[in-house]
Amino acid sequence: MGMRLRGAPRGRAVRPGAGCGICSLIAVALAGLVCASPGAETPAAVPLSLDECLRRVYEYNETIQIRELEWEVSQKKVKAERGIFEPQFVGSIQHVQNLEQTTAEQRISLATAILDEKNNLYDSGVEFLLPTGGKLKFGYSLQQLNNNLQLQFGLAQEYSTFGGVTLTQPLLKGAGYAATMAGIRLAAGESDLAYQDYRRQFMLILAQAESAYWDLYYFQDLQRILGESAGVARTILKDDQVRLQAGQSSELEVLAAESGLALREAKAKDAHHKLVEAMNRLTALFSAAGAYSNLVVRAMDRPTLRATELDYFSSMGTALKWNPDYLSQLRQVTQADIRLAYAHNQRWPQVDLKASYGLNGLGDTYGSSWSQLQTAHYENWSLGVEVHMPLGGDIRGRNELSAAKLRKQQALLGLKNAEVQISTALDTAIKRTQGLRDSVGDFQKAVDYNQRLLDAEVARLAVGKSDSRKVLEIEEELSEAKRALLESLVAYEKSYLEWELGRGTLLRMQNVDMTQTQLRDRLVQRLHLSPGATGHLFAEAKTSYEKPAPAPAPAGPLTHPGPTAP
Q: What is the structure's pLDDT at 61? A: 87
Closest C-alpha among 57, 138, 47 to residue 91: 138
CA distance 95 to 374: 26
Q: Which helix (H) or strand (E) segment is 464 a member of?
A: none
CA distance 508 to 503: 10
Q: What is the structure's pLDDT at 294? A: 63
Q: What is the structure's pLDDT at 538? A: 42
Cα angle 131, 391, 183; round to 5: 25
Is 99:128 a contact under the CB 8 Å cutoff?
Answer: no
The pLDDT-based confidence of 502 (bands split at 50, 70, 90) is very high
Closest C-alpha among 456, 462, 467 to residue 12: 462
Which amino acid is located at 87 in the chain? P
CA distance 486 to 480: 10
Long-range contacts of 173-176 (CB under 8 A, 24+ apart): 173/345, 173/346, 173/347, 173/348, 173/349, 173/350, 173/351, 174/133, 174/345, 174/346, 174/350, 175/132, 175/133, 175/345, 175/348, 176/132, 176/133, 176/345
The rounded percent of the chain whose pLDDT value lies above 90 is 49
Q: What is the structure's pLDDT at 392? A: 87
CA distance 386 to 441: 82
Summarize pLDDT for 312-362 with one digit per residue, the tens: 999 999 999 999 999 999 999 999 999 999 999 999 999 999 999 999 999
Cα angle 339, 336, 413; round to 5: 155
What topology is assigned to 24-76+185-332+411-546 in CATH?
Outer membrane efflux proteins (OEP) (1.20.1600)
The pLDDT-based confidence of 557 (bands split at 50, 70, 90) is very low
Residue 48, pLDDT above cutoff 60: yes
Which amino acid is located at 170 in the chain? P
Residue 34, pLDDT above cutoff 80: no
Residue 462, pLDDT above cutoff 60: yes
Q: What is the structure's pLDDT at 16? A: 33
CA distance 404 to 341: 9
The pLDDT-based confidence of 82 (bands split at 50, 70, 90) is very high
Whole-number Cα distances in Å, 168 to 92, 129, 171, 357: 20, 10, 10, 12
The pLDDT-based confidence of 527 (bands split at 50, 70, 90) is low
Lowest mean per-residue pLDDT among 75-89, 252-266, 493-507: 252-266
Radius of gyration (C-alpha) of the chain in whole angstroms: 42
Is 235:228 a contact under the CB 8 Å cutoff?
Answer: no
DSSP state letter for 147: B
Residue 511 has φ and ψ, to the nearest 5°, of: 65, 40
CA distance 305 to 127: 67
Residue 495, pLDDT above cutoff 50: yes
Q: What is the structure's pLDDT at 41? A: 44
Mean pLDDT to the nearest integer, 364-369:
90
Is 29:535 a contact under the CB 8 Å cutoff?
Answer: no
Q: What is the structure's pLDDT at 236? A: 79
Mean pLDDT to the nearest integer, 457-483:
83
Q: For 406-434, what is the HEC assignment?
A: HHHHHHHHHHHHHHHHHHHHHHHHHHHHH
SS3 content of the chain, % helix, strand, coil (to 5): 60, 15, 25
Residue 134 — left, alpha, or beta (φ > 0 → left; ψ -120 to 50 → alpha)?
beta
The whole-chain average pLDDT of the chain stands at 82
Residue 126 has φ and ψ, to the nearest 5°, of: -125, 125
Summarize pLDDT for 370-414 with one digit per residue, the tens: 999 899 899 999 999 999 999 888 899 999 999 999 999 999 999
Is 108:236 a contact under the CB 8 Å cutoff?
Answer: no
Is 520:39 a contact under the CB 8 Å cutoff?
Answer: no
Q: What is the structure's pLDDT at 483? A: 92
Q: What is the structure's pLDDT at 44? A: 66
The pLDDT-based confidence of 232 (bands split at 50, 70, 90) is confident
Residue 191, pLDDT above cutoff 50: yes
The pLDDT-based confidence of 104 (bands split at 50, 70, 90) is confident
Q: What is the structure's pLDDT at 427? A: 95
Is 300:48 a contact under the CB 8 Å cutoff?
Answer: yes
Residue 101, pLDDT above cutoff 50: yes
CA distance 278 to 281: 5
Summarize pLDDT for 278-301 with one digit per residue, the tens: 988 888 888 644 445 567 889 999
SS3 153: helix
Strands of 52-113, DSSP E = 88-101
Q: What is the structure's pLDDT at 8? A: 30
Residue 63, pLDDT above cutoff 50: yes
Residue 471, pLDDT above cutoff 50: yes
Q: What is the structure's pLDDT at 285? A: 87
Domain ranges of the chain: 24-76+185-332+411-546, 87-129+134-173+350-388
Q: What is the structure's pLDDT at 15? A: 33
